[in-house]
Structure 1
């Protein structure tokens, strides 16, 4: 089947951190030996971003197959309204529980760790050979073409090369301080990327940033099948840990090693981290060359700024947002 007509499934990781059952479950496993930034409430917060994420796929990603929403015995309140109101076909959106994702690896559950969950996405039953993974705070900002991610079986990866050396020295130093003095080392996104290259023997890593990424089911399944103890070590952490790799990075570096990758420069995204990004973010929503967006820590904004963001996103995706969601989000 040609790339131009091959459906690519999309996987979204989602959690409702306000759920009391989840909070109680998480509390049982929290202790002072966990890195503090892996326990922050905002890491588990849900502020309706999932609806914008799904709406953006329906509006801008015509080649998308099944949209899998990965959860821990939860479901976004309004998610079924996409189908019920005819905004997508029946079965387009599927909730898949951690127990299905971790089938055969149940000893790692429960988990509150995005890196552990990402390590098991290849295990989703019937998922497409290549799939796009994104957090629920990512969205597609403009029309996407399959060639943005996959060209003749080659994964398109956006980023740039970085040497492992500095990150490896920092990693080893922090591990030494942790082991010698008991100061818990904080996990870092860039360090996890470095480790994903280091574990396959590369001396540099292809650094990526916050936006949707294409992954290969076969590359990940084969690697973890050949390194079962490595996988067990990777998914055993309940919260993010400095020793974990970035699974997206692993898929990328394996593709590069196997000559299955097309490397491209970084692309600009609509990025909102705090109130200082408010105006540039809103302006970016209408720019045709900016294909992806990311909303980080929406709950940390001032209320008036949060409302402006919500209204802007509702206006952008109104025709693919269920009617109940629009007044609820743009409150």
Structure 2
């Protein structure tokens, strides 16, 4: 069976050392939300992410955890408990993926970090990227992502026209009146399509995504200015494109993609979504999930969610997590 690697970006925003480093730069940030604590919060989601991969993904190669001089506290327990091979989970520092681009460090910007994932040493050509709050909700097969070297992309087409018009208007307001440009997920996706010459973008949502290391590396080697402009921002900027979107539109452009309709995910988005999220955890037809902004819920609600996740992944989690 073909094996491919998994990459998870992770940060412990509660780490005093990381907070001090972040505070050196965030006073210059005028964009709402770009430096808020919730963007860097860690509530043990990464352990559920890893446990879900170990439980449901037979085609797993190596899991790379991308961090900034940090390491999840219980990470070694996956190995100690025999849940994976001794070298199957590896921590990769920002200094490694930004090798040759060290002038852009430190960075606290997920879009900049995602842009450099292709630079992980020994990474498989095709790899699956996850935010640390993503997880697999049911058994998966490689064909969920890759078929005959064709990347499966789940989403739908959206015209650039209205979003581009609105973005240009906002840039004008910023230029003449100084109103900050707020980063938007839709704009970042649109910008990734524009780089490939598309007048529409294939919109994607919060789930694991298949990326191609060689495709991204070749593009940035050919377009070094695009890369430099993208990773110059220490915090998220409205002028940045979505790296996953760039990968996808390059694949579409090269006729290496299979476009699939949107699929349902187990999505914890806010308090109103708790009941449906808990129901979705039990549905095998829902293969992927996302635990977004867990820290925004009450302590009782958080414990309810965490208890359900611990039960679902109980044989694949670090023992310390259940203490």
1:298 aligned partner: 294
* Alignment pair present for 1:229 and 2:225: yes
Of 147, 153, 158, the match for 1:157? 153
Q: Which runs of 5+ in 1 are unaligned?
A: none
Count of equivalent residues? 323
Q: Which runs of 5+ in 2 are unaligned?
A: none
Of 98, 104, 107, the match for 1:111? 107
* Alignment pair present for 1:213 and 2:184: no
**TM-score, structure 2 normalization:** 0.99
1:280 aligned partner: 276
- Which stretch has the larger CA shift, 295-304 or 31-40? 31-40
**TM-score, structure 1 normalization:** 0.96
Deviation by residue 1:38-90 (Cα, 9 ceiling, x = unmatched): 11110000000000000000000110110000000000000110001111111
Of 26, 31, 34, the match for 1:35? 31
* Alignment pair present for 1:71 and 2:49: no
3-state SS of the aligned residue for 2:79?
Answer: helix
- Which stretch has the larger CA shift, 173-182 or 238-247? 173-182
- Which stretch has the larger CA shift, 23-32 or 110-119? 23-32
1:92 aligned partner: 88
Equivalent-residue separation in structure 1 for 2:27 and 2:168 (angstroms): 23
- Which stretch has the larger CA shift, 75-84 or 172-181? 172-181
Moved over 2 A (4+): 31-34
Superposed, 1:130-149 pairs within 5 Å as 130-149=126-145
1:23 aligned partner: 19
Q: Is the 8 A contact 2:215 2:247 kept in 1?
A: yes
Q: Is the 8 A contact 1:33 1:184 kept in 2?
A: no
Q: Is the 8 A contact 2:29 2:35 kept in 1?
A: no
Deviation by residue 1:90-120 (Cα, 9 ceiling, x = unmatched): 1010000000011111111000000000000
Equivalent-residue separation in structure 1 for 2:242 and 2:313 (angstroms): 31
Equivalent-residue separation in structure 1 for 2:39 and 2:132 (angstroms): 12
2:44 aligned partner: 48
Equivalent-residue separation in structure 2 for 1:297 and 1:261 (angstroms): 31
Of 305, 326, 331, the match for 2:322? 326
Deviation by residue 1:147-195 (Cα, 9 ceiling, x = unmatched): 0000111000000000001111111111111111111110011110000
Q: Is the 8 A contact 1:82 1:88 kept in 2?
A: yes
How far apart are 1:33 and its partner, in Å? 4.2
How far apart are 1:32 and its partner, in Å? 4.6
Deviation by residue 1:12-38 (Cα, 9 ceiling, x = unmatched): 000000011111111111135431111
Instruction: Tell me how large the CA RMSD over aligned residues is.
Output: 0.7
Equivalent-residue separation in structure 1 for 2:222 and 2:245 (angstroms): 18
